[in-house]
Structure 1
Amino acid sequence: MTGLSFGGISGILVLVAYATAMLLIGYFAGRGQPKGEQKTARGYYLGGSGLGFVALFFTLYASQYSGNSIVGYAPEAYRSGFVWWQSVPFMIAVIAGYLLFAPRLYAIAKRESFVTPTDWVRYRFRSSAVSLLVALLMLWGLANYLLEQLVAMGQGISGLTGNTVPYQVGVIGFVVVMLVYSWAGGMRAVALTDVMQGIALLLGVAVLLAGALYLSGGGIGDLTRHLAESAPEKVGVPSGEESVNWLSMIIMIGIGAAVYPHAIQRIYAARSERTLKRSLATMAWMPLVTTGVVFVVGIVGIELFPGLSEDDSEQLVGMIANEVAGINLFYYALMILLFGGVVAAIVSTADSALLSFSSVISQDLYARHIAPNTSERKQVLVGKIAAVVAVAILLAVAWNPPSTLFNIFVLKFELIVQIAPAFILGLYWRRLSAGPVFWGMLAGAVFAGAWTVFDVDKLYGIPAGLLGLALNVAICLVGSLLISRPDAEVPNTDPHLAPRTATTRD
């Protein structure tokens, strides 16, 4: 079977098969909902808050392990070497970030019937200004996240088919598929497609690693010795600044990814608190069996394809998959599974971001500030239309992607992480007040955004987003301590916030 690849008709058939499966899932997910539920915001955006363990686990998995995790992380390991092992602990840190607030937030969200992440902020701080700023930061992060997935989608399809399906054609084709099944089935369709892609991805990535090691002709030890001889800078001890950057990224991404709007909505969508905790406990193992495996694949790529430019290395996963497929029929079949799994993973992550984007537009902007008396059915329709318009705009940007996947990935965290104090501090500290939260978020976002836009060098490896978050938290803490009576901003009937009584003060 030497010389086999996914190019030509075989690659196209795999794409068509996965696209068809997604469309069928969307169709039956929509028909399977109780009559009228699909027209409500809670039914469409949260699947009626009825996701069981399997669906919730895989939809959390798909949200955390996006196309960037597979298509983008291996090239970063190829370019950076062993210093990119940081990708494993910062994925572990995301689970720690969830556990800081998810169970407590779930209990409140279930009782109060939250739909969007901003519902918590509105409930906690009773401030339109804070709610609106959080919504805008979320929309920025979601648009950036969706752009990342569109770029990964095109690169993944063109790389895995040997450019038989061009970048632009692949993006447009699967965007249409995504819009159709998301429109038809909402959160239920998204969660069920996540189950399909998650199983394919886990099996496919494992076999990709086995095939890549087979092609390299040795184990991890031999690979390390080869790198030490041919590219010693990629196996050396990180400098002090690189180590600080490593720790900083773990902190920023651990917090930032946990407060993704679509991740928070998955907390809301759990059937029960026990289901949520079981899903998060299982997720704790996924960094080793996903990000860790992808890291090793990128390191193997240094030996298999030495000297790739930055642009060429972006298609490393597709290049290795095509080589592995040529080993024998077994590897060929499993690479077909991986091929579809990677594409489906990218699409499933994009649909999660798009669904959350739609909900923020529909519920937090349109229903709250533009047409508060309109029906839920019309609100959902407005959200769907807004999602289509947003994708059309982002497609124009993705047509000629402005940066590597990793740079796009970092950019969104600079701003989205600024909403973390409103969620984490807001759940644990009753004195946290709306005014300091607003000014802290605004100052942190402006600081981090300006630092990034003007391309200022990192402060000894610390990313601008984390510096902005430090400023944000400082304003929240000092400002709240200076305010003598925050009582009116704290829901006085919530047992999860240890409510005040007439005789209980800070």
Structure 2
Amino acid sequence: MEELRFAGLDAVIILSAYAVLMIVIGWLAGRGKKVGKSVSSYYLAGRDLGIITLFFTLFATQYSGNTVVGYAPQAYREGFSWLQSVPFFTLIIGIYLLFAPRLYAIAKKKKFVTPTDWISYRFNSKRVTILAILLMLWGLANYLLEQLVAIGHAVSGLTGGTIPYEIAVIGFIIVMLTYEWLGGMKAVAITDAVQGSLLFVGVILLLAGAFALTGGGLTDLTENIAAVDPERIGVPDLTTNINWISMILLTGFGAAVYPHAVQRIYSSRSERTLKRSLARMAWMPPFTAGFVLIIGIIGIQLYPGLSVPESEQLVGILANDVANLNTFFYWAMIILFGAIVGAIVSTADSVLLSFSSMISNDVYGKYINKSAPDERKVKVGKFVGVILVALLLWVAWNPPGTLFQIFVLKFEILVQVAPAFILGLYWKRLSSTAVFWGMLVGATIAGVMTLIGHETAFGIHGGVYGLAVNFMICVAGSLMVPTSQDYKRKVEKMTTIDAQQ
């Protein structure tokens, strides 16, 4: 391998330019506006995201820079069986379309700010709301940890270690907090649009460069892998196939109820804007997850025998080798280099913003100081967000697993709130008691399986077992509890779109 070309002054200049750009965007987004005075303006961009901005912020939510940095190594380790990443991203859009338009119509009428505003409104139960808050905060904390680890790997790998992992994480956390505090959701959405478009272009160029390194097409690639490592190209066994289905369900339902994704539903300018953005999102899985899969497969041929820690640096190693091809690819990798880091930071700030909103509006505003003005709520959310980042920094120095393992861990628990949204929006008989016990038992099953080291059993994730039991408790429990006609009429009025218009 030739000497790395991204090391030294070039890397510092590139990263500094992206950092300054994001801070300028934050300043412009908040300039002349009372961003920190209202929870709606700060956390939901005034509910005025247009189709382009909404599309890209949804794109960045679903495909962060970690999709490139974390999924390519997973494809390297698993081979073609990682093809599952394409359908599980597709299912996420299907789940969105199942509940997002109806939720948006209700949220607009009732001025929801956080995901648990819906749960409080629908079930009118303090214990259901508190449990949902805890499960969502757990998912957000894990997701933020995932992004912090990804920032360190991306910068360290792409600069050949010139910028150390720890310095990378701390530096971009400061940048993230700065522009988020300046512009709130508006700044986050605009940076998402910038970084998302650059990331998409960068991935295409990385894929082109990777093929140039192999000197052949996809057919030659598969033939070479079949000769050296046939297991990664063979037909998956039964357990792997079952695990595919499990992963698709876990991710499809879990990612659709990301708290920051739900808040983007609330932030849409109109229901038509939301539907059009989601329709465009449906085309993206083959061109994002599919391209990243091929990049990981190419890595099997180019860098055989990498250990798990070494494979986590796969994208950085590949990008540096592509940069060594010629001047065009050098500048192409500069685009990718900044875009990956920027996209990861954009996702991290979305997660932190959502976490802060739930602390400020749901915990502080509903249970600690109900009379607090919006400005104080926003300040509390910012302060607690800084504390969370400090705690996660300590964990990020010694991450508990690979990026993919952290990715799965957040879904195991977060997915348990899905029935409260999907069933709650459509089934008027669903009771708060059944929802509470469904979430609690489902989360307990997933948590216990994770703690004892059995994240899967017979190829099925603990979170999927928990979700299945969760749905059964919700349905059976609601059918067993007598429901008055008044209650049914009340819920029907709450969940019928026509009643909100």
Please tell me whether the aligned partners of residues 74 and 297 of structure 1 are also in contact (alpha carbons under 8 angstroms): yes
Instruction: Report which stretch shifted further, 155-164 or 60-69.
Output: 60-69
The C-alpha deviation readout for 1:86-133, integer Å capped at 9, x for no partner, is 111111111111111000000000111000000000110011110110
Query: Given that residues 360 and 377 in structure 2 are in contact (C-alpha distance below 8 angstroms), is that contact kept between their aligned partners in structure 1?
Result: yes
1:400 to 2:398 alignment? yes
In the alignment, what sits opposite 1:102?
A: 100
- What runs of 5+ residues in structure 1 fail to find an aligned partner? 502-506
Give me the whole-angstrom Cα distance separating, in 1, the residues matched to 2:249 and 2:444. Answer: 20
What is the total number of aligned residue pairs between the two structures?
A: 498
**Structure 2 equivalent of residue 472 of structure 1:** 470
**1:486/1:100 CA distance change after superposition, 3 Å:** farther
Hey, what does 1:48 align to over in structure 2?
46
Q: In the alignment, which residue of structure 2 is the partner of 1:90? A: 88
Secondary structure of 1:332 counterpart: helix
SS in 1 for 2:245: helix
Are 2:190 and 1:188 equivalent residues in the alignment? no
After superposition, what is the alpha-carbon deviation per residue over 1:331-356, rounded to whole angstroms, capped at 9, x for unaligned?
11111010000000100000000000
2:8 counterpart residue number: 8
Q: Is the 8 A contact 2:36 2:378 kept in 1?
A: no
Q: Separation in 1 of the partners of 2:177 and 2:284?
A: 28
CA–CA distance in structure 1, aligned partners of residues 78 and 282 of structure 2: 25
Residue aligning to 2:278: 280
User: Residue 25 of structure 1 corresponds to which residue in structure 2?
Assistant: 25
The equivalent residue for 1:504 is none
Residues 124 and 490 in structure 1, CA contact (< 8 A), matched pair in contact too: no
CA distance, structure 2, for counterparts of residue 448 and residue 178 of structure 1: 32
2:225 corresponding residue in structure 1: 227
Which residue of 354, 357, 364 maps to 1:356? 354
Give me the whole-angstrom Cα distance separating, in 1, the residues matched to 2:437 and 2:136: 16
4+ runs deviating over 6 angstroms: none
Rounded Cα–Cα distance in structure 2 between residues aligned with 1:491 and 1:207:
56
* Separation of aligned partners in 2, 1:369 and 1:496: 24
Corresponding residue of 1:438? 436
Q: Tell me, yes or no, if structure 1 residue 115 matches structure 2 residue 113.
A: yes
Provide the TM-score with structure 2 as the length reference: 0.97
> Which position in structure 1 is the counterpart of 2:340?
342
Counterparts of 1:8 and 1:388, CA distance in 2: 30
Q: 2:158 aligns with which of 151, 157, 160?
A: 160
Q: Please state whether the residue corresponding to 1:39 is helix, strand or coil.
A: coil
Number of the residue aligned with 1:255:
253
**Residues 21-63 of structure 1, C-alpha deviation per residue, up to 9 Å, x if partnerless?**
0000001101153xx3531000100000000011101100111
What's the CA shift string for 1:279-308, capped at 9, x where partnerless? 101111111111111110010011111111
User: What is the Cα-based RMSD across aligned positions, in Å?
Assistant: 1.6
Who is 1:151 aligned against? 149
Q: Which residue of 2 aligns with 1:296?
A: 294
Query: Match of 2:201?
Result: 203
Change (3 A) 1:487 1:337: farther
Contact 2:65 2:199 (C-alpha < 8 Å) held by counterparts: no
Percent of pairs identical after alignment?
58
Q: CA deviation at 1:494?
A: 5.9
Question: TM-score if structure 1 supplies the norm length?
Answer: 0.96
C-alpha deviation, 1:490, in angstroms:
5.9
Superposed CA offset, 1:309-352 (max 9, x none)? 10011010011111111111111111101000000010000000
Task: Give CA-to-partner distance per residue, 1:139-188, whole Å, 9 cap, x none.
Answer: 00000000000000000000011110000000000000000111111000
Q: Tell me the residue number matched to 1:305.
A: 303
2:268 maps to which of 267, 270, 285: 270
Aligned-residue offset at 1:252: 1.3
C-alpha distance in 1, partners of 2:484/2:143? 35
Is contact 1:30–1:186 with CA below 8 Å preserved after alignment?
A: yes
Give me the whole-angstrom Cα distance separating, in 1, the residues matched to 2:494 and 2:326.
Answer: 57
Q: 1:273 to 1:218 in 2, by over 3 A?
A: same
Distance in 2 of aligned mates of 1:190 and 1:319: 29
Query: How many angstroms apart in 1 are the aligned matches of 2:24 and 2:211?
Result: 36
Give CA-to-partner distance per residue, 1:43-85, whole Å, 9 cap, x none: 1000000000111011001110123211000000111100001
- The letter of the residue matching 1:362 is S
In the superposition, relative to structure 1, how do residues 408 and 214 fare at CA in structure 2: closer, same or farther (>3 Å)? same
**CA drift at 1:458:** 2.5
1:428 to 423, 426, 437: 426
Structure 1: how far apart are the matches of 2:265 and 2:70? 26
The question of whether the paired residues in 1 share the 8 Å contact of 2:430 and 2:474 is answered with yes
**Which AA in structure 1 matches 2:475?**
L
Of 281-290 and 449-458, the range deviating more from structure 2 = 449-458
Q: Which letter does structure 2 place at the counterpart of 1:9? A: L
CA contact (8 A) 1:126 1:489 kept: no
- The whole-number CA distance in structure 2 between the counterparts of 1:4 and 1:30 is 39
Distance in 1, Cα, partners of 2:474 & 2:129: 16
Change (3 A) 1:457 1:25: closer
Task: Give the whole-Å Cα distance in 2 for the aligned partners of 1:148 and 1:218.
Answer: 34
In the TM superposition, residue 487 of structure 1 has moved relative to its aligned partner by 5.5
Equivalent runs, 1:125-144 vs 2, <5 Å: 125-144=123-142
User: Which of 438, 457, 460 is matched with 2:458 structurally?
Assistant: 460
Cα-to-partner distance string for 1:184-229 (whole Å, 9 max, x where unaligned): 1100000000011011101100000000001011000000001111
Would the aligned equivalents of 2:413 and 2:443 in 1 still touch at CA under 8 Å? yes
2:86 partner letter: V
8 A contact 2:6–2:158 mirrored in 1: yes
Amino acid at match of 2:218: I
Contact 1:358/1:387 (<8 A) preserved: yes
Indicate conservation of the 8 Å contact 2:122/2:491, yes or no. no
Report the counterpart of residue 81 of structure 1 in structure 2. Answer: 79
> Contact (CA 8 Å) 1:104, 1:496: kept in 2 or not?
no
Query: 1:19: how far off?
Result: 0.2
> What's the CA shift string for 1:240-269, capped at 9, x where partnerless?
111011011111110100000000000000
Cα separation, 2, equivalents of 1:491 and 1:15: 57
User: Against the structure 1 CA distance between its residues 496 and 367, is the aligned structure 2 distance closer, same or farther, given a 3 Å change threshold?
Assistant: closer
